[in-house]
Amino acid sequence: MAGTPMWVWWALYAACYAAGGWEPTLSGLRALTERRLDVDLLMVAAALGAAAIGQITDGALLIVIFATSGALESYATQRTQDSVRGLLDLTPDTATVLRGDGTEHVVPASDLAVGDVVLVRPGERVGADGQVLDGASDVDQATITGEPLPSPKQVGDEVFAGTVNGTGALRVRVERPAGDTVLARIVAMVQEAGTTKARTQLFIEKVEQRYSVGMVIATLLLFAVPLSFGADFQPTLLRAMTFMIVASPCAVVLATMPPLLSAIANAGRHGVLVKSAVVLERLGASSVVAFDKTGTLTEGTPRVTEVRILPGVVGSDSELLALAASAENPSEHLLARAVVAAAHKAGLSLEHAEEFSALPGRGVRARVAGRLVEVGSPAHLLGTTEPDDVVVTDVASLELDGQTAVVVRVDGRVAGVVGLADHLRPGAAQAVEQIATLTGTGPVVLTGDNPRAARRIASQLGITDVHAGLLPHEKVDAVRALEAGGHKVMLVGDGINDAPALAAAHTGLAMGRAGSDLALQTADAVIVRDDLSTIPAIIALSRRARRLVTANLIIASAFISVLVAWDLLGDLPLPLGVAGHEGSTIIVGLNGLRLLRTAAWQHSDTKKRHRKGELS
């Protein structure tokens, strides 16, 4: 821009003022009609005052800072509203009601009443919370409980609206009206938690109001009082305008935003999406971290962990696995896919399965190379024969260890047992250890999975505080209980069932790859690459950012206090006032931008490993 005409400079600055200043100006004028003085309007007035005495760059910078902050806040609010609306899509629009005469009627799911009997066909979503009256199937209810495996449902079992039915047909009696289902309560809790968080902004608004009123009164008094005592107009106006500039909170604004925004940008480069500067501040304040299990601490998909054979039926573990995988190959069940994947990984060749059939909740049977192979639940396959004591012991041992036991029977004789379990994410143990060091408190597990599986995973990580079998509202209760005990809870989850707890927690982190849309939208931050090691790193980075904010506020307050005192008690030259004001702004700005460096993230990680306890 050097050498360009002055009118070009002024035109560009005017565009900057208009683009960033129209919205706070409009908001401030609306506040005035309600007899409130909005700090945004005061900032616009300060920017215009700076321009009036030739400091147009200073005013433009102030406008840009406030416009950017407002845009980030609006974006985060809109994303939260969209996430709640997206949850409603999980409930089916219609349901098939069975009348007393046996006829079927398709009605809106919202019209279902308690006592109605609905037919849920294979692959359909359940339309209401209810109890199974007839049929058997495997229902994927990960959206509600977070369980990685479909849950077998039989007569008398409970099913939830929004869950997905497997291969069997179910007749379900409606137990709760549409507005009181578990899914509807999830929506209500997310909205309630969002409202609760918004109320915390009331304190900030009160501070802004008092500051705004104080600034206006001080400026008017500094101008009007000397004039009433006969002071000259020109020097009095100059002193008042100098006060307006040196008391302008540009440095205070820059004291807060650059460190936080720089830390947000740095975290984003390392795979953590932090949705706002307020969130980044809260991350470092966390005193306990609560983890969901499935899809968070674990990968969320079962794998074959053990193959145990009985002598006399098959010759080796490989033969048993090959037969089981051949029989399971046509099945779409999650456990079947895990057995087939294990066989492929072991380099085994699979035979074609003939006469294949599947019984929901029980298992499969097929003829493989002329041999009848059955793969299914111990309750089904061991209940029709006199089981060998070794088989019973193997099944009990696997289940006590939190694994899922699958029995393989060949030509009517039990040949062995296959154990399956979810696996820990890489680096989970190290991340848990680092988090415990940073927060000074061991992490907690909150999961909808069964207690044995939860304790098995927790024991591998050294976590002793485990809450299992929790429904979404029970996870919220657990979070609130922790916070009632004085903790600031960071919840890490991935499923729709985690959304209410993510919203209720002090801060919520969602797993980016495996996370549901609602979890991603409700959470305050997203771990994009599902790397658990980023959790202790972002906590450490947040704490460093907060320390920089504190240091910047001290620097900015010191400059403002000295310059204001000089202007009120002495004769502060306008150029020196502008230089001091701009100098403090530059100092705090550059200090905050230090967190943009890659070394800032590495520094946080190094402190975790080599300076244990310092950050806690």
CA 171 remoteness from chain centre? 36
With CA atoms as reference, report the closest residue to 187 among 252, 321, 90, 328: 90
For 182-297, strand residue ranges (E) read: 272-274, 288-291
Output the CA torsion sign for 464, 470, 282, 75. Answer: positive
488: three-class secondary structure by DSSP: coil
Is 544 within 8 Å of 599 (Cβ atoms)?
A: no
Residue 465's pLDDT is 93
What is the number of other CB atoms lying within 10 angstroms of the CB of residue 382?
A: 20
d(CA 443, CA 463): 6
d(CA 526, CA 520): 6
Banded model confidence at residue 610, pLDDT cuts 50, 70, 90: very low
- The half-sphere exposure of 328 on its side-chain side, counting CA atoms within 13 A, is 27
pLDDT in tens, 111-154: 899 999 999 999 899 989 999 999 999 888 766 665 667 888 98
Residue with tokens 């062995």: 416
d(CA 475, CA 498): 8
d(CA 266, CA 272): 9
Residue with tokens 């905050």: 592
State mean pLDDT over 29-56.
72
Q: String of b and e for 421-437 (b: at least 16 CB within 10 Å)? A: bbebbeebbebbbbbbb
For residue 382, the 8-state DSSP code is S
d(CA 39, CA 204): 11
pLDDT in tens, 544-594: 988 988 898 899 889 988 988 888 888 887 667 767 776 787 788 778 778
With CA atoms as reference, report the closest residue to 258 among 273, 280, 284: 280
Q: Is 66 left (phi over 0), alpha (psi -120 to 50) or beta?
A: alpha
3-state helix, strand, coil in the chain (%, to 5): 55, 20, 25
Q: Which of 40, 292, 422, 498 is catalytic?
A: 292
Between 275 and 99, residue with greater pLDDT? 99
Q: What angle, 0 to 180 degrees and rounded to 10, lies between the N-to-C axes of helices 56-87 and 250-269?
A: 50
* Region of poorest pLDDT, from 30-34, 56-60, 120-124, 184-188: 184-188
Tokens of 177: 């009206």
Residue 609's pLDDT is 46
Q: Is 530 a catalytic residue?
A: no
557: three-class secondary structure by DSSP: helix
Residue 611's pLDDT is 44
For residue 404, the 8-state DSSP code is E
**Phi first, then psi: what are they for 473, rounded to 5°?**
-70, -25
d(CA 193, CA 183): 16
Tokens of 568: 């009120």
Helix H or strand E encompassing 421: strand 413-424
d(CA 275, CA 280): 8
Residue 198 has pLDDT above 50, yes or no: no
CA 12 remoteness from chain centre? 41
**Phi first, then psi: what are they for 385, rounded to 5°?**
-140, 170
The whole-chain average pLDDT of the chain stands at 81
Residue 614 has pLDDT above 50, yes or no: no
Is 131 within 8 Å of 157 (Cβ atoms)?
A: yes
Is 248 within 8 Å of 581 (Cβ atoms)?
A: yes
HEC-encoded secondary structure of 76-93: HHHHHHHHHHHHHHHCCC
Residue 520 has pLDDT above 70, yes or no: yes
Tokens of 465: 């505080």
- Across-strand partners of 422? 302
Between 516 and 173, residue with greater pLDDT? 173
pLDDT in tens, 448-460: 877 888 888 899 8
Is 186 within 8 Å of 87 (Cβ atoms)?
A: yes
